[in-house]
Amino acid sequence: MPGRLDPEPIARRDFLGLAGLWAAFLAIGGSVVGMLRLPKPRVTPEASSVVRIGKAEDFPPGTSRVMLEHRIRVFSSSEGIAAVSLICTHLGCIVKETADGFSCPCHGSKFALDGKVIKGPAPRALNWLACARAADGTLLVDTSRDVKTGTYYKA
C-alpha cells in the first residue's frame, strides 16, 4: 500500500486534479479552435464579379473605353477584344489614364497601355481579365479572373 512513507509516483488527487484541469483546457481550446473558422465566410458577400459591357459591335477594332464603374478598360484591335483591370497591382488604388498609359495616384506606379509596369513599386502588370459572350450576344468580363497578358477574345 502506498502511504506517506512510500508515496505513489503521482498522487491520486494530483492526477485527478490535473486530469480535470486538462479536460477543461481541452474543452475551451477545442471550442476556440472551432470558432476560429467563423471569420472566414464560405461565400464572400460581393456582387457577382462578372459584368456586362455591351455588344461586340460596340467595340470595333481601335476602340478603347474606360469603364470606371467596373474598374476596367476595354479595348479592341484586329486580334479581338480585351479588358484590363484598373486596380493597381501594388496596393489597390484605381489607376488614371494618361497620354501614354496609366499612372497610380497612391505611390506613383506607371503602366504602359497594355498594363506593363514602367515605373514605381507595382510588382506585376495590370491584370488582363477573362472575357466571354453571353447567350444573348452581350460581352461579359469576369473581373476576378485574370488571363495571360496579351490574350484577346475573338468575339
The residue from 121, 146, 149, 151 that contacts ligand FES (CB under 6 A) is 121
Long-range contacts of 54-63 (CB under 8 A, 24+ apart): 54/138, 54/139, 55/137, 55/138, 55/139, 56/81, 56/133, 56/137, 56/139, 56/155, 59/139, 59/155
Least separation in angstroms between CB 61 and other proteins = 27
Least separation in angstroms between CB 98 and ligand FES = 13
Nearer to ligand FES, 55 or 96 (CB): 96
> 17 touches which of other proteins, ligand FES, none (CB within 5 to 8 A by kind)?
none
Residues 20-59 that bind other proteins (CB under 8 A): 39-41, 44-46
What is the rounded CA–CA span in Å between residue 138 and residue 132? 9
